[in-house]
Amino acid sequence: MLTIWTYDYVPGGENGPRGLVRDLRLRWACEEAALDYEVKTTPFDDRGSDHFARQPFGQIPFLEDDGLKVFESGACLLYLAKKSEILMPSDPVGEADTLQWTIAALNSIEMVSVPWMVLNWSDGPDNGLAGWLDSRLARMEAVLADREWIAAGRFTVADIIMADVFRQTRRADAPAYPNIRAYKERACARPAFRKAHDDQVAHFVEGDRARSG
Ligand SMILES: N[C@@H](CCC(=O)N[C@@H](CS)C(=O)NCC(=O)O)C(=O)O
């Protein structure tokens, strides 16, 4: 049985992260591949030494599989992808394509979009990183002009990470990026995404009850 670890609580409200917390990536992959999993929690408020022992930055998600432990959502996704061809083709060409786009989502898009998002809080959307982010989004807009899914000619784990990176980046919703928006909508219409999303939201509602009770 796989265990996906997340927080017991994250702030709610309109600008809170519920529905965007990165354990969703792992839930989504397990749902797509019909892998059995459970969800366990670590405290959001008091991150103790046992949390840092499992995730050196005190973040979530992290994954356990029969004693084996993995952190970093990208590493967890690639670990899960080894368990099911639904997530990553086993032929060398399809596998390489899936790997390269998984890393591109993390290391070429998210590495720009997260710093942009942080600056957005203080300096607004047209902050000093907007041009850099726009150049990456414009390239993705062109790439997505003629493909339904990002790698291997079909849905793979690379779509889970790419679509989720776009979900976290409000700038990707700009009118300049219709292909990105359509891609994100395709991904989010998948039953596995909807289940993962709704389960995460319900998890944090339940967490609220536990805190107030
Ligand atoms: N690179 C990490 C980032 C993980 C991350 O940012 N997790 C957020 C939740 S979505 C978190 O734990 N934030 C609290 C913090 O950074 O202290 C990954 O992809 O797993």
What pLDDT is recorded for position 38? 98
CATH number reported for the structural domain that contains residue 143 in this entry: 1.20.1050.10
Please give the number of the atom of ligand 1 that sits closest to the Cα of 47.
Answer: 17
CA of 188 to the centre of ligand 1 (A): 21
Name the CA radius of gyration of the chain, rounded: 17
In the structure, which protein residues have their CB atom closer than 6 angstroms to any atom of ligand 1?
21-22, 58-60, 72-74
First and final CA of the chain: distance in angstroms?
Answer: 30
Over residues 86-112, the mean pLDDT reads: 98
Percent of the chain with pLDDT over 90: 93
What pLDDT is recorded for position 61? 98
In contact, 144 and 158? CB cutoff 8 Å: no
Sign of dihedral through CA atoms 136, 140, 141, 142? Answer: positive
Do residues 104 and 125 share a domain? yes
**Number of domains observed in the structure of the chain:** 2
Do residues 59 and 113 share a domain? no
**Which residue range is the domain that position 77 belongs to?**
2-86+192-212
CA distance 25 to 110: 14
Q: Which protein residue's CA is at the shortest distance from atom 12 of ligand 1?
A: 59
Average pLDDT of the chain is 96
Tokens read off for 174: 């700009």
Structure confidence by residue, pLDDT tens digits, 81-95: 999 999 999 999 999
What pLDDT is recorded for position 124? 95
CA of 146 to the centre of ligand 1 (A): 32
Do residues 21 and 99 share a domain? no
Over residues 94-106, the mean pLDDT reads: 98
pLDDT exceeds 90 at position 210? no
Least confident residue range of 50-54, 135-139, 155-159 = 50-54
pLDDT exceeds 90 at position 42? yes
Structure confidence by residue, pLDDT tens digits, 126-136: 999 999 999 99
Q: Which amino acid is at 83?
A: K
CA distance 82 to 84: 6
CATH number reported for the structural domain that contains residue 19 in this entry: 3.40.30.10
pLDDT exceeds 90 at position 211? no
Higher pLDDT, 168 or 213: 168
Please give the number of the atom of ligand 1 that sits closest to the Cα of 55.
Answer: 20
Do residues 129 and 69 share a domain? no
CB-CB neighbours of 39 under 10 Å: 17
Do residues 50 and 109 share a domain? no
Q: Which amino acid is at 138?
A: A
